[in-house]
Amino acid sequence: MIKSRYLRFAFAAAVASVLATASAARADEQFFPLQSYRVGPYAAGGTGFFGGFIDYLNLINIRDGGVNGVKLTWDEGETQYEVERGVEVYERLKGRPGVAAWNPLSVGIAYAMIDRITKDKVPLITINHGRTDSTDGRVFPYVFPLLLNPYSETSGIVNYIASREGGVDRLKDKKIVVLYHGSPYGKETIPIYKLLADKYQFSLEQIEVPHPGNEQQSQWLSIRRAKPDYVVLRGWGVMNPVALKTAQKVGFPADHIIGNVWSNSEEDVIPAGDAAKGYIAITTQASGEQYPVLQEVIKTVYGAGKGNLDDKKRIGSVYHNLGIVNGILNVEAIRIAQAKFGKRTLTGDEVRWGFEHLQLDPARVEALGAKDLFHSINVTWDNHEGDGRVTFQQWDGGKWKVVSGWIAPDWAFLRPIIEKSAAAYAKEHGIKVRSSGDDPVSN
Amino acid sequence: MFDYQFLIEVLVGGLLSGVMYSLVAIGFVLIYKTSGVLNFAQGAMLLFAALTFVSLVERGSSFPVAFVITLAIMVVLGVSVERAVLRPLVNQPPTTLFVATLGLSYVIEGAAQLLWGTQVHGLDIGISDVPLDIAGVFISRFDLFAAAVAGSLVALFALFFRYTRTGLSFRAVADDPFAALAVGLRLPRVWASVWTASGIVALVAGLLWGARLGVQFSLSLVVLKALPVLVLGGFDSIAGAIIGGLLIGAIEKLSEVYVGRLFGGGIEAWAAYVVALVLLLVRPSGLFGQKLVERV
């Protein structure tokens, strides 16, 4: 009897010990639910971005043992870039403990999640994309279009063209055609290009390419007739290589085509072959594997056989480096939040606070091994983009080469437009515009 | 003053684009003509063929070797589809067969990505696309080459149908499958042959479209370009596919350039369908399709 009671006690103690260990392990983990797309039409971009993101999380785990001892974990749900599947993955993974932030890399999925993440109080990161007015953190407390929103991108492109022409005053009487994807994403910048054309007095024509953009003969014939000085390519997917090929077909020079941030990857130029040589595109993060953080990823993560990319040649590609930078920003937001709330698993709202204080100056970026990979970021509670700088890369037929310095968009010009749009959204949705004083976390 | 030179340029560009649509449409016609199935998997077959070819080339195969191997794979695929999908569904309603090919398209697309990966590939078939300047009108060399290939393919099919036993069997089955069966023709063999022929068309179209767009997943979407062509030209006429393609190509480009501005641009994708829809109301079997007469 005594023996039996002893055994029962020992068994209970063992179970309690195992449960305590498991519980402790969960308590020291920060979870990233990933709505990835590794199959389907956009798989090339998805495997690169999510591969880079996971590679960086792995680097932090292997090299540093996590963020201040808090291990980073993740789980993937395949979306094929479809909104319904993205929402389905959200519903499936949102209950997991320690959710840090959502990073869908999809405009459609991000739009569908705004109400949900706001209710659940978990940040939604839309690096380089998403709603422009979500830059206004007063109205969108949980949405972060980090580094670049579509309006900043537009301003950055116009500023780059101005720099090539010798200054903004030289834009007068120039002609720019914007060739945009026939979707809400493609159309989002139509008004801002008009405003910039009015401001700098350049002639503007905006031409739509119907989705998916695999036929552009008529658009490029119209461009040839319009004889523009520059064509801005605001494309997506197959539209990009077809634009470059058709430009060659009508004799338009590739080095006068400036691609936007979703027309700037290897996947956009390789299918176009020689027609892409000389093509220039904007980016927030340079490509290449020469940066110290990339070297560490190669040595530490791929050296340990834990690299996420099947094809190592893609290390340092545009999408992979975007994933790496996205990883840096997520991890640093957690680190900043931990400094305030403690070195433990944080709630989504606490991570949101971290993002709202994500200030990485060039010195800190260099310390993170990312000097020249990206410039800096300065997120505040009301500016969720963080004043990212842009640079321009030119395709030489085999790789991208940086051809400009870090260029600042005209934020002062854009901010009132963003605030106006955000205010309209707030009114329409009955949202109380936030001030720093009523910040739910800092109070 | 109206710019006639520009009009000619738009028209020629449209006609040459239309040839590319015809190439895809022919694959549909071959199968529909002999088995009454609207093969929605044609786009997926095109993707599979192009991806297989380019993956073999990237692994060191020469163009001719890669072409022959891909051709063999497409033959195996065609025969397998007939055995595994169509034969068990004989005598099922057309809707069932259509849905079967729709499902098949997902299976083939998934298999293509599983087998060869998700990366996009460039495909250079050695035809420079620097335009020819003919009296101020720019004409694409690549599109001219594609038109020549499409013309040759149609000529080969015409000879095949007219002068070979298998071709005669095709025609007999297309004309009256029950009569063909009654005189001893083996329908499964004819269907397997026609799926093989459709696979060959998919390979040729896949290489040309792949060289134009890059070899990537969206290649399978070119089927959307073929649908208005089929409605216009008729689902069972190769000549209709050619003429329908030319008409749709020209209508798309002319409408986009000259009417598009009135609607804010980007109309060419649906303008083709508007034309097809109107024709469908007036002539349901298309310009060249056979009128369906059913005993009730």
Does the beta-carbon distance from B213 to A221 stay under 8 Å?
no
Confidence of residue A406 (pLDDT cuts 50, 70, 90): very high
What pLDDT is recorded for position B192? 86
**ipTM at complex level:** 0.85
The reply to whether residue A41 touches residue B217, judged by beta carbons under 8 angstroms, is yes
**C-alpha triplet A122, A124, A130: angle, nearest 5°:** 155
Tokens matching residue B191 = 């269907």
pLDDT at position A27 is 58
Whole-number pLDDT of residue B181: 84
Residue of B14, B122, B143 with shortest CB distance to A270: B122
Q: Please check the confidence at residue A374 and state whether its pLDDT lies above 90.
A: yes
For residue A43, the distance in angstroms to the closest alpha carbon of chain B comes to 6
pLDDT at B161: 84
Average pLDDT over residues A152-164: 98
**What does the pLDDT read at residue A322?**
98
Q: What is the mean pLDDT of each run of 10 residues along chain B (296 residues)?
A: 87 92 93 87 94 96 96 92 87 89 93 89 86 85 91 89 87 83 86 88 94 88 90 90 94 92 85 91 84 62
Confidence of residue A12 (pLDDT cuts 50, 70, 90): low
Distance from C-alpha of B207 to C-alpha of B201, rounded to nearest angstrom: 10
Q: Give yes or no for A77 touching B (CB within 8 A).
A: no
Q: Does the pLDDT value for residue A17 go beyond 80?
A: no
The predicted structure's pLDDT at residue A438: 58
Question: Which residues on B lie below 8 Å from A241 (Cβ)?
Answer: 120, 213-214
Check pLDDT > 50 for residue A6: no
Question: What tens digit of pLDDT does each residue of A377-400 get?
Answer: 999 999 999 999 999 999 999 999
Closest residue to A248, CB basis, from B10, B129, B265 = B129
Chain A residues whose CB is inside 8 A of the B130 CB are 248
β-bridge partners, A283: A391
Distance CA A65, CA A52 (A): 19
**Record: contact A238-B113, CB cut-off 8 A:** no
Residues in B closer than 8 angstroms to A250, CB to CB, are 131, 138
Residues of A whose CB is below 8 A from B140: 249
Nearest CA in chain B to A217: B13
At A19, is the pLDDT very low, low, confident or very high (cuts 50, 70, 90)? very low
Q: Which residues of A touch B221 (CB under 8 A)?
A: 41, 212, 214, 238
Among the partner-chain residues B122, B130, B267, the one whose CB lies closest to the CB of A273 is B122
A16 in B contact zone (CB under 8 Å): no
Contact between A140 and A111 under an 8 Å Cβ cutoff? The reply is: no
A49 contact residues in B (CB cutoff 8 A): none
For the cut 50, the answer to whether the pLDDT of residue A20 exceeds it is no
Percent of chain A with pLDDT over 70: 92
| DSSP three-state, residue A381 | coil
Q: What is the pLDDT of residue B41?
A: 93
- The strand pair at A71-78 and A29-36 is best described as parallel
Asked if B148 and B207 count as a contact pair (C-beta separation under 8 A), the reply is: no
Q: Could you give the CA distance from residue A174 to residue A158 in angstroms, rounded to a whole number?
A: 11
Chain mean pLDDT for chain A: 92
CB contact under 8 A, A271 and B257: no
**Six-digit token pair at B193?**
């042959």
> What domains can be seen in chain A, in order of their start residue?
9-148+287-378+418-438 (3.40.50.2300), 151-283+393-409 (3.40.50.2300)
d(CA A216, CA B253): 9
Domain boundaries, chain B: 22-219
Of B131, B213, B252, the CB nearest to A249: B131
Contact B129 A217 (CB under 8 A): no
Mean pLDDT over A279-307 rounds to: 98
- Tens of pLDDT, residue by residue over A216-247, are 999 999 999 999 999 999 999 899 999 999 99
Measured distance CA(A182)–CA(A234) in Å, rounded: 10
Residue A40: CB atoms within 10 Å: 18
- Is the pLDDT at A149 greater than 60? The verdict is yes
pLDDT at B296: 59
- The CA distance from A262 to A45, in Å, is 10
What pLDDT is attached to residue A199? 96
Length of chain A: 443
Residue type, A251: G
Q: Which pLDDT score, from 0 to 100, does residue B167 have?
A: 86
